Amino acid sequence: MSHAWRPLFVIIAVVIIIFTARIIIVPSDFEATNGDYKYQWHRVSSEQDWKDFPVKHKGREFCEQCHDEMTATVKGSGHTNVQCESCHVQFNPDKKGHPIDLKEDFDYLLEIGIDRSRALCKRCHTKLVYRPIPKIYIKNRESYEDMKLVDPTEHNPGIECIECHDVHRTEFK
Amino acid sequence: MALTRRELLKKGLLSICGTLIPLSAFELLKPDAMASLIHPYSKKKRWAFTVDTTKCMGCGMCVKACKLENEIPFEAEVQRTWVERYVQTKKGEVIIDSPRGARYGFTKNDPQGKNIPEEEITKGFFVPKLCNHCEKPSCVQVCPVGATYKTEDGVVLVDRKWCIGCGYCINNCPYFARFFHPVHNVAEKCTWCYHRINKGMNTACADSCAFGVRKIGRLNDSESEVHKIITTKRVAVLKPEFGNEPHVFYIGLDHIVR
């Protein structure tokens, strides 16, 4: 056989190796949904991977199972639209933990705590010229009220907000 | 072949008419386009998101909830959603900032760390941002391995097992919505909480918003709030000139927003 033909066999062998490797490596459920290779060429089971991602924020309904009195109070207060998790799940808790192991018993994955810091209240209640002032209906007082915004540098600096304010009832202590 | 004068005129006129019809006229015959004429909002199940910037307080609870829900390390300087502050002064200067993605909220009048006197400010507002889940996502188009894709219901996702981390998609998103996940070392982006919306829940950011700024729903479901907002209110999208057909609709968008 002519030496000129030998490289051809090498090329054919390489092509066969590449295609076999491709069949082995590429997952079998790789497909272009709707024939759309531009935007929908993917591993279909990846969609399920994302659907199976654990839900962590379970909302007020979860807390309500035990703390129904407290959630009823919050629902009737000015904080009616604020989720429990906004203040009780946090990154810098001064009081961490929950009497019952929520992770073990309820599959609740977030870390519960109580954030009593002034910094947390300031996120919503600092007065800024460009911050809108929403009006909300407070059921317990049967009135529409403007949200209270303060200048934290003038409004009792150095004292924790919860010294005077009951955040669940949104009233003075 | 004998060609009569009548036939010549007939055939001549026909061919002239034929060449005059532009190719685009045939577009109407596409089944998709015809269907859209009958149903202005196609019956396809498609998720959409609305943001009411006029209500946003800049508390950043959405950013916090998103980070915790989707396991993005809290102190890492990357986030799937963030809130931007726009402040315009009397001199016409526009100051835009988003300190730490606003995960600790805006608690001071210090745009970009500058002290701007209140009387100098003509207007200011907060704009929450997230992935726009475009109909034509340019990030998906550039993926060399097919690791990012658009689902049937319009959500753009990343396959963490398949992504090689080349970063083309991160460069190609006109909204800067993508980043590298510091733990998984793959491209990461907002999934519109795909695990939650498929269980009938809200996204974590929409759930944590006390002011009703963020809403998610089916674009073509006449019962959904998102559908009502998009069909009845004045909404706009970010950077429409890129042609990505983004599906996050904003109420109260200003021309200084980028």
A110: which chain B residues are within 8 Å (Cβ-Cβ)? 68
pLDDT in tens, A130-160: 999 999 999 988 999 999 999 999 999 989 9
Residue of B nearest to A27 (CA): B162
Question: Cβ B124–A129 below 8 Å, yes or no?
Answer: yes
Mean per-residue pLDDT, A97-124? 88
Give chain B positions within 8 Å (CB) of A132: 54-57
Strands (E), chain B: 47-52, 82-89, 94-97, 121-129, 148-150, 156-158, 179-180, 187-188, 214-218, 235-236, 248-251
Which residues are CB-contacts of A98 (< 8 A; sequence separation ≥ 6)?
Answer: A112
Helix (H) or strand (E) holding A25: helix A6-25
pLDDT at A98: 85
Output b/e per residue, A100-110; b: 16+ Cβ within 10 A. eebeeeeebeb
- The domain segmentation of chain A, as residue ranges, is 6-51, 59-172
> Nearest CB to B150: which of A39, A50, A52?
A39
A-B contacts at Cβ under 8 angstroms: 136
Cβ neighbours of A119 in B, within 8 Å: 104, 107
Closest residue, chain B, to A30 (C-alpha)? B146
pLDDT in tens, B40-58: 555 678 999 999 999 999 9
Mutate to test the interface with A, among B42, B45, B46, B57 (most CBs of A within 10 A): B57
Give residue-wise pLDDT tens across range A20-54.
999 999 988 998 888 888 999 999 999 999 999 99
Task: Kindly indicate whether the domain formed by B138-188 is annotated with CATH number 3.30.390.50.
Answer: no
Task: Give the pLDDT of chain B (258 residues) as one tens digit per residue.
Answer: 678 899 999 999 999 888 877 666 665 566 666 655 555 555 678 999 999 999 999 999 999 999 999 999 999 999 999 999 999 999 999 999 999 999 999 999 999 998 899 999 999 999 999 999 999 999 999 999 999 999 999 999 999 999 999 999 999 999 999 999 999 999 999 999 999 999 999 999 999 999 999 999 998 888 899 999 999 999 999 999 999 999 999 999 999 998
Give residue B215's Cα distance to chain centre. Answer: 13
Q: For residue A56, which of B181, B207, B218, B102 has the smallest C-alpha distance? A: B207
Residue B36 has a pLDDT of 56
Structure tokens at B121: 């400010």
Alpha-carbon gap: A172 to the closest alpha carbon of chain B (Å): 21
Would you place residue A95 in the very low, low, confident or very high pLDDT band (cuts 50, 70, 90)? confident
Q: What is the ipTM of this complex?
A: 0.88
B212 vs A91: CB contact, 8 Å cut-off?
no
Cα–Cα distance for residue pair B216/B192, rounded to 1 Å: 8
